[in-house]
Structure formats: structure tokens, C-alpha cells
Structure 1
């Protein structure tokens, strides 16, 4: 018995896939198959499959540091040279042109967009830019208690020394308060990417709605 997925939207690249075709057409290393928009996902209620690398389940374990942007997915026991294996693989199957990423460690929503389909590399680069290039606003900062504010200030000084702002030759002067407090500083020590997951209940709690392309970013120290 074949399970037929009919994609009801106007894109000429969309076609009907049977379950027998699914294992070939929806392959992580191939670029075949449709690219679904937010509207497509809403109409079809398609269940997205996360790339195992982003779930943290693949053999090539993803290591991604949000402060420095260092990203690698070298297999255990593999070559010593760091590289992001699978960076051009689709983040989900079917592919989508937009992912919405939220986190329990921060109040912000990161939107990853790419017309040709969001990849693993797009996810990592967008998260890094969102958290290092955007500042914490005054209302956001003052919504925290004094203890949390002090923790963020200390982490900002620490992060500044890791992100290329400190002098070279291994000399680090006493840490002073950076002029900027960035979103990555809000995370305190939770700056290592652990994986993406689905949590419809949390998505609805945070955003007021849920959708197949809303993912929760798990972070660790």
C-alpha cells in the first residue's frame, strides 16, 4: 500500500511522492524534492524530519560554540582537521525555506530563511549572527533582577576575551566592562549548541501558535 503525499501549492517543482520513492527522493545528501513554504506547512500540516546532525544523534557529532562561532562535526576517531561535515545538507525533510528557532535560555526568536532550502550551515551561521551581532536592549536588560544583570555583565567581559576582542600573544589585561551587552551574553555559560528538538506545547506557550517548522534549540555549558 502506497502512501501518497500530494502537495497542494503553486510551485512547479512540487510533485507527488509515494512511500516507495520517499527513501530515494528525501535523502539528506540529495537536493531533490519540494521546498515547502510557511503556507505549504500550514495547509498540509506536514511533519518535518530533523537532520540527525542537528538533533545531536548523528555519528558526526555537531560541535557549535555560539560565542566564537567555531563549528565542526568531525566523527569520533576521525581526521584531526576540523570541518563541518554535512553543512550543505538540508536541515529538514521535506526541505523548507524557513525555520523558526526558539530557546528556553533566551527570549528571542531566530528565523532562518533560504529560498533554495535551509541547510545545516544556514542554521549555524544565522544563530551565530543573531546572538553576536544583536545587543540586549535596555528594556530587556532591566527586566532582569540585579543578580542576573551582574551575571550578564561578567559573562560579557569573559566572552569579549574569546571572540577576538582581546590582545594577542596570550596577554589578557584585567577584564573591564564591554560597551556592548550582546544576546550571547544573556546565555551566561550555556553557549554550546546541544541540538534542535520539537516541542509543540512550548512553542505555543512562547509564540501563541505552533507549526512544524518551529524548533527548540537546546544549549549546554
Structure 2
């Protein structure tokens, strides 16, 4: 007997892929269902994607640092674009894929957006002096954690060094674990001035 195929199975042949125009025309009927992996609804599994390193610690016991279900669609129906915001940063992360955004696409986009982009002088100036000091300490910690294997392996003390740039990931301070997506239209409306079915809030923890 053939086994039933999961509705979240990877592939480009399961249902429609909705674009921005489709979502607009459908209006309130365009409710998107988020993949259970991104909602913490899979037994004995908790999404934990480390934004600084780009690895997942969810399957660390098995020695696997990849994201579980990375090729599965992030939503059903699938969509060509997903917009992410966070309660802990001022930026929007936009993920686009013509065949439908996957879980892996989301994790990759978050990593690139926060690790590869620097904080601008104007963004830095919006912070209080205390917040600026905390940001610099976080940046130094992230920088030295990445450099640690090179000096720490010999057992001698390596003085902390200051990074030559401040990245978006440093803004998050200790909240560097992406654990999924949630829907909060009230918060989205207050942040962006509008809401849409494909705008989600990132769940970030320490």
C-alpha cells in the first residue's frame, strides 16, 4: 500500500504558489498556515538556528548542524515572498523565491541579513549611550568567540580584541537563537503601518 505523502513534503508540485498580487486579491481569505517546524509543534523537536554561526543546534546530539526540514515549504499555500520583522531590531528581512519560500530559505536569509550587514551610523545614533556600550561589548564577544579556536587551543590567555565593525546580529545581543515564526497583526500594523498575510514576527531567544 502506498504511504500518504505529507502535505509539507519538499517539492514544487504541491498546490499553488501565491505571489504578492494573489495575496492582495484574496484579501482576508489569504490565510497562510505556518509549517509546524516553525511553530514548535513537532514532538521532541525545537527549532534552534544560531544566527551568529549559521548552524542549527536542534540536532546537536546527533552531530547534525543542518536545519531540519530545510527543503519543506515555510507556509501553505506556498508563497513567493515572506517578510520578517523582530521585536528586538528595526529591520525587515525579505525572502523571495519563485517556487515558494522554504524553511531553509528563511534561515539563510536571516543569517545573511544580520551577519553580512553592518549597523549604519544613523542607526547607531538612535541608541542611548548605555545601549551603545552594550552593543560594543556584544560585538567584541561575538568577534572573540569566532577567533577563540585559533588562540585558545594552546592554553594561553588571548586578550579581547575589538571588532572593526558592528553588525546587525550584534544589535540582538544575547537573543541569537531563531526558534520560529509567529503571527501578530497588531504588532505588524504598529511597526509598518500595514499588515499582510505573509508578514511574520521572528521568535528570537537567548
Flag whether TM exceeds 0.5 (same fold): yes
TM-score (norm 1): 0.82
Aligned length: 194
State TM-score, norm by structure 2.
0.88
Match of residue 8 from structure 2: 28
Show structure 2 runs of 5+ residues with no match: none
**Shift of residue 216 of structure 1?**
0.1
- What are the ranges of 5 or more consecutive residues in structure 1 without an aligned counterpart? 1-23
Cα distance in structure 2, aligned partners of 1:26 and 1:81: 26
TM-superposed CA distance for 1:196, in Å, is: 0.6
Matching residue of 1:127: 110
Higher relative contact order (CA 8 A, sep 6+): 2
Counterpart in 2 of 1:180? 165
CA distance in 2, matches of 1:67, 1:30: 27
The CA RMSD measured in Å over matched residues stands at 1.9
**Structure 2 vs 1, CA of residues 116 and 99 (structure 1 numbering), >3 Å: closer, same or farther?**
same
Q: After TM superposition, which residue ranges in structure 1, 4 or more long, deviate above 3 angstroms?
A: 72-75, 164-167
Q: Distance in 2 between matches of 1:191 and 1:73?
A: 14
Residue 82 of structure 2 is matched in structure 1 by 99
Q: Specify the alignment match of 1:138 in structure 2.
A: 121
CA-to-aligned-CA distance 1:125-177 (integer Å, 9 cap, x gap): 00000000000000100111000000000000101123x34451525622122
User: Could you tell me how far 1:25 is from its partner in structure 2?
Assistant: 8.8
Instruction: Classify 1:81/1:102 alpha carbon distance in 2 versus 1 (closer, same or farther; 3 Å).
Output: same
Contact 1:90 1:118 in 2 (8 A): yes
